[in-house]
Amino acid sequence: MSITPYFSSSAKVWDTIEWVYGIPDAGYSGWEIVADGRYRLDNPANRKDIHEAIASTDLGITVHAPYGDLNLATLNHPIWEESIRQVCVCVTNAAEFTDRVTIHPGYMSPVGKLLPEKAWQLQKEALVRIGQVAADCGVLACLENMIGIREFLCQRPEEILGMTEGIEGIGITIDFGHANTVGRVKEFLPLLKNAKHLHIHDNKGVSDEHLALGMGTIPWDVVGPAVRKDYSGVVVVEGKSPEEGKKSLVVYKRWFV
């Protein structure tokens, strides 16, 4: 299987574009754009800066759609529609740069907890609409497994499979950092054959710390060989800065290459 390391930093979304030039210097082949803050793709000035950075660095690109204050499973209909709209706009604009966009599932609001089947249905309906836009643009929108906060959907492998199965334009992003916060790293390994995108970062199994690889409790000696065996594509190392990314790359090269 062929895998390629990209770097991403949600901590840098309000920083100017200069930090991106450190990604190739840190040893990475690509950049996953977190499309928020200064990097929202619905802003033409942001897209211009991104195009210039790509031209100067020759970085490959994937995109992470915005998720703050959005909820694809909310029973509040105007918020649900706006959440779908923002993700679809991101997917459409991302097609200028990539064929992979990661999206977050929704979560159970206080009202949603009273009607969990309805919240699930709304999440599925949202994915159908997003998937159609993605397919029309030649993009795969990949739903990501979530962290150990009770309200979030898609914390279990069988849940994310059931949520995405059979929907055109929709794939799966496995995030092993997220899986560690729910104690399910090894349970997600069989899904590598289904995954279309991959995120890795470390934590100590309690919260989503986004530590450098090797600084937490994820067994990279188990995960890395499984990825090499069963997955082909981009592996995004998520970190706070390219300098931290250099530390992660040492562990990545030990177990993933």
Total count of residues recorded for the chain? 257
How far, in Å, CA of 41 to CA of 49, rounded? 11
Residue with tokens 């065996």: 229
Average pLDDT, the chain: 97
Tokens of 197: 């995108």
Using alpha carbons, select from 147, 155, 157, 221 the residue that is nearest to residue 177: 147
What local confidence, expressed as pLDDT, does residue 110 receive?
94
Q: What is the mean pLDDT of residues 209-237?
A: 98
pLDDT in tens, 56-115: 999 999 999 999 999 999 999 999 999 999 999 999 999 999 999 999 999 999 999 999
Helix (H) or strand (E) holding 51: helix 44-57
pLDDT higher than 90, residue 1: no
CA dihedral 108, 134, 174, 244 (to 10 degrees): -100
What are the domain boundaries of the chain? 3-255
CATH number of 3-255: 3.20.20.150
Tokens of 63: 């995109």
Q: What is the mean pLDDT of residues 213-237?
A: 98
Q: What is the mean pLDDT of residues 200-226?
A: 98
Q: What is the mean pLDDT of residues 198-210?
A: 97
In eight-state DSSP terms, residue 246 is H
pLDDT in tens, 116-146: 999 999 999 999 999 999 999 999 999 999 9
How far, in Å, CA of 38 to CA of 47, rounded? 10
